[in-house]
Amino acid sequence: MNWKVTQSLPISFEIFRSQDALSFNKIDIDRKLIVIDLNFYNLYCDKIIIDKNTKILTIECLESTKDWKTAESILDFFEKNDVLRRSEPIIAIGGGVLLDIVGFCCSIYRRGIPYIRIPTTLLSLIDASIGIKTSINHFNRRNRFGSFYPPLYSIIDNQFIKTQDDRQISNGVAEMIKLSIVTDQELFLLLEKNVKELMEQRFQGNIANQTINIAIGGMLSQLTSNLWETNLERPVDFGHSFSPIIEMKNVDDLLHGEAVILDCLLSSCIAFIKNMICEDVLIRIFKLIQSYTLPTYHTDFFDIDLLNIALSDTKKHRNGNIFLPLPTAIGSCNITNNLTDPELLLAILKMKELNARF
């Protein structure tokens, strides 16, 4: 006797823009269970209408505390508040770390309870809020544990960016630049032409809205057909090949977008060494990164042994392949499955040379 089970799990979620995301207060749920970033809460608590049926857990969110211990405190909040399995969605308000960890907790509590994401940073607006990934760090490895678990919806409100500092905004721009290099020339041009306006206006206004919409749409078009990463050859992994280990080595010091953009630059140098892009394109990439005061120089990205260790961990995640996304022009890329030590060494030298030159 053999049996075969064949079924499919339908997934559906929405991402919508709002000029008043904290109006989730109007959402028709009897009890509102909110897990919110402590810093954001201190800035915006006046705007959150709290009634006797609202329960709030504030969490101090750092990459270094995106761990099981923090997850347990969130799970404890669910347990203490007797959350129902289906009809009391958790409202997660914060940056990528908070959204990832709350999503993970919701995915495992009673094998899954619903949740709503409200991102509060430029980075999480265009990144953590878009796909269905959740995670925590472990073994000093980024996102080692996690799940694919969609929220009910994400509410995108770019007004919160107003209260972010320059470094945090640039941190978000890094993921936009990443996406633009490998998939979207139009976004690259917009970011290139409007540095001053975007940064000074803190991503408010028309051009900002345009870049945010393009970034979200672009991410979605990359992710939608590959939500569960059946295909491990992913252009959006650009910038995520060497960076995870280096980011964790410099945890809370090097921000996620900073580690990613350094990886993007190194990978672009590899593309240059492999004759996949010309020097003009490489220099445009370098200068765009520099114009948003993102780092272009980091000694860990010049350490070939460390880079090889980092890549070997990434290989396990890509099932034995390096599947390195490398640009072939502004807005397009190829996935490469080989990289020699001499190529990597020459790419490091090129990255150093660019830093010396500009």
Q: Can you tell me the distance from the alpha carbon of 91 to that of 166, in angstroms, rounded to the nearest whole number?
A: 27
Half-sphere exposure in the Cβ direction for 24 (13 Å, CA): 28
> Does 176 help bind its own copies (rule: CB under 8 A)?
no
> Does 117 help bind its own copies (rule: CB under 8 A)?
no
Q: Can you tell me the distance from the alpha carbon of 276 to that of 78, in angstroms, rounded to the nearest whole number?
A: 51
> Does 213 help bind its own copies (rule: CB under 8 A)?
yes
Q: Can you tell me the distance from the alpha carbon of 97 to that of 67, in angstroms, rounded to the nearest whole number?
A: 10
- For the chain, the straight-line distance linking the first and the last C-alpha, in angstroms and rounded, comes to 70
- Residues 133, 142, 202, 240: which binds its own copies (CB under 8 A)? 133
Compute the chain's Rg from CA coordinates: 21
> Does 27 help bind its own copies (rule: CB under 8 A)?
no
Integer CA distances (angstroms), 44 to 36, 203, 257, in order? 10, 18, 24
The distance of closest approach from Cβ of residue 1 to its own copies in the complex, given in angstroms and rounded to an integer, is: 5
> Does 79 help bind its own copies (rule: CB under 8 A)?
yes
- Residues 108, 207, 251, 311: which binds its own copies (CB under 8 A)? 108
Q: 133 catalytic, yes or no?
A: yes
> Does 13 help bind its own copies (rule: CB under 8 A)?
yes
- Under rule CB under 8 A, how many of the chain's residues touch its own copies? 61
Question: Catalytic residue among 133, 178, 274, 350, which?
Answer: 133
> Does 232 help bind its own copies (rule: CB under 8 A)?
yes
* Nearest Cα to Cα of residue 143 among 34, 45, 229: 229
- Give the nearer residue to its own copies in terms of CB position, either 99 or 265: 99
- Residues 15, 265, 288, 289: which binds its own copies (CB under 8 A)? 15
> Does 9 help bind its own copies (rule: CB under 8 A)?
yes
CA torsion 170-223-351-282 (nearest 10°) is -90
Cβ 257 vs Cβ 124: under 8 Å: no
> Does 126 help bind its own copies (rule: CB under 8 A)?
no
Cβ 160 vs Cβ 120: under 8 Å: yes
> Does 135 help bind its own copies (rule: CB under 8 A)?
yes
Cβ 288 vs Cβ 251: under 8 Å: no
- Residues 25, 55, 64, 138: which binds its own copies (CB under 8 A)? 138
Binding site for its own copies (CB under 8 A): 1-17, 68, 75-76, 79, 82-87, 104, 107-112, 133, 135, 138-139, 141, 143-148, 150, 213, 216-217, 220, 224-225, 227-229, 232, 316-320
- For the annotated catalytic residues, the residue numbers are 133
